[in-house]
Amino acid sequence: MDETARSTMTAAGKAARPASRPAAAAAAQARQVGPFAERVTVFEGIGVTRNLPDAVGRRQLPLRPGLCFPPDAPPWVYDCTGGRATNMGVPAPSVPSDAPLIPGTFVYGGPVWHSFGHFISEFVHRLWVTELPEWRDAPVAFIATEGRSPPGFLGQIMALMGVRDWRVLEGPARIERLVVAEQGKMLHCPPAPAYVAFLRRRLAQLLDAPPRFPRRLAVLRGHLGAGHGRCVGENWLLRQLTQLGYAEFRPETVPIADQANAYVHAEKIVFSEGSAIHLFDILPPVRAEIAVLNRRPGSHLGRDSLGSKAARLHVFDDIRLLGDPRGGLTTSLGLFDPRKVLGFLQETGMIASLPDADLLDEAPELAEDVAAFVRARHPVAAVRSTKDDERLLAETVAYLARMALRGAANAAPTDVAPPPPRRRGTGA
């Protein structure tokens, strides 16, 4: 919505809103893309600019498209999430009439998004069309994002998927001929069965390569530090899993080809919900039994990305968030009982036995785990200024964590007195 339309709606007030509901419902219906049907369309002379991130305050709005689709273009050619075209109706920047023509036929790969998790979960799932004989040799064209050079992982993903000729276009320009296929996988949706079959054929060589990593992997997030959406106790949980035969695996430290090798040859994988799971969006089905520890209550990420890929899938969802969930995982503290996690893993057959250790018996480690979050997201305005705010907050939140996990009767009292209330008009 442009600023003029936004101002008009605001001025009209509540009286105008009921009349706009039918139009809004019709627009929402028009954005529905329907089930995957291997649809393809070819655009001639289509304008290309750059994808423009559009934000108002803290709210991220749909990506302004870098392709100037004609008004009658079907919804599935746009960026699609959750079964609908998210940026259909969002105007693309105009292309001058004298913009240069890029000769040749290209296959549309999608916009270049610089978050690995979002790029691989949303923007590379049109490449199944390169399997068709008429476009097998056509180069793949990605559309640049404003002000950013292509991320390093783009070339690695293309190599993994067997795409030898690809390029990033910026514009303003026009493309002589652009082949746009619908997405075989959308964020918040499982992949289409036909797309999974394509991935099985395209990446069959992964299963033939010799394994280079352990067969039991723990892909957790405790090492990422505070402010990256980790849960309290992940480092403790990792230590227990390594003693039970799992190897720590940090996917961000190895090339994407190595990540793929590790996952397709693994027998068991324990994931902390996060971007690492999204690599499975472009992998064929694997032989591994996988457990996902949700970091957000009710998250479907694990089921959407792994439900059709894992030999067996288990999802642990007994998680709560302390703080303000509206600010995302970086402003809230994920809290699960590590003993319950281990019990869940034993019940599902991911581990054979339970260790004797309990994080809640290790008060210093629990306090330090919480202190990392406090240091990263230090709510100074919430406490009276002292010489030891971090210790005060860490021990207070650790005490609340024990209460939340096991109840007040099991929470060891803290020796830090609660701070006196702040007085208005003072800097204290």
Q: Would you state the pLDDT for residue 396?
A: 59
Under DSSP, the state recorded for 244 is T
Q: Pairing mode, if any, of strands 332-335 and 247-248?
A: unpaired
How large is the average pLDDT for residues 310-334? 75
pLDDT tens sequence across 198-240: 999 999 999 899 999 999 999 998 777 655 667 888 888 999 9
Neighbouring C-beta atoms of residue 285, cutoff 10 Å: 17
Q: Are 153 and 18 in contact (CB under 8 A)?
A: no
Taking the C-alpha atoms of residue 109 and residue 51, their distance in angstroms, rounded to an integer, is: 13
Q: Would you state the pLDDT for residue 87?
A: 87
Question: pLDDT class for 332, splitting at 50, 70, 90?
Answer: low
Radius of gyration of the chain (CA): 25
Query: b/e for 235-247, b at 16 or more Cβ within 10 A?
Result: bbbbbbbeebebe
Taking the C-alpha atoms of residue 341 and residue 347, their distance in angstroms, rounded to an integer, is: 10
Least confident of 4-8, 44-48, 70-74: 4-8
Question: pLDDT class for 343, splitting at 50, 70, 90?
Answer: very high
| Highest-pLDDT range among 110-119, 121-130, 328-337, 401-410 | 121-130
Q: What's the pTM value of the predicted model, to 2 decimals? A: 0.80
Q: Are 142 and 167 in contact (CB under 8 A)?
A: yes
Q: Which of 332, 336, 323 is nearest to 226 (CA)?
A: 332
Residue 395 pLDDT > 70: no
pLDDT tens sequence across 150-206: 888 999 999 999 999 999 998 899 999 999 999 999 999 999 999 999 999 999 999
Catalogue all structural domains in the chain, each as residue range(s) with its CATH number. 33-188 (no CATH), 208-357 (3.40.50), 358-415 (no CATH)
Residue 316 pLDDT > 80: yes
Q: Would you state the pLDDT for residue 143?
A: 92
Report which secondary-structure segment, H or E, holds 397. helix 389-406
Each as own residue / partner, the long-range contacts of residues 394-402 (CB below 8 Å, 24 or more positions apart, any chain) are 394/367, 394/368, 394/370, 395/367, 397/322, 397/333, 397/370, 397/373, 398/363, 398/366, 398/367, 398/369, 398/370, 398/371, 400/322, 401/232, 401/322, 401/335, 401/366, 401/370, 402/360, 402/366
The CA angle 301-305-310, to the nearest 5 degrees, is 120
pLDDT higher for 416 or 85?
85
Quote helix, strand, coil % in the chain, to nearest 5. 40, 20, 40
Name the H helices within 210-253.
234-243
3-class DSSP state for residue 22?
helix
What's the whole-number average pLDDT of the chain?
Answer: 81
Residue 264 pLDDT > 50: yes
- How far is C-alpha 42 from the geometric centre of its chain's CA atoms? 30
Q: What percent of the chain has pLDDT over 70?
A: 75
Taking the C-alpha atoms of residue 1 and residue 20, their distance in angstroms, rounded to an integer, is: 14
Question: N- to C-terminal Cα distance for the chain?
Answer: 44
Taking the C-alpha atoms of residue 192 and residue 394, their distance in angstroms, rounded to an integer, is: 46
Write down the residue that tokens 């209330």 correspond to. 421
Side by side, the strands of the sheet bearing 231-232 are 231-232, 332-335, 320-323
Neighbouring C-beta atoms of residue 10, cutoff 10 Å: 9
Report which secondary-structure segment, H or E, holds 68. strand 67-68
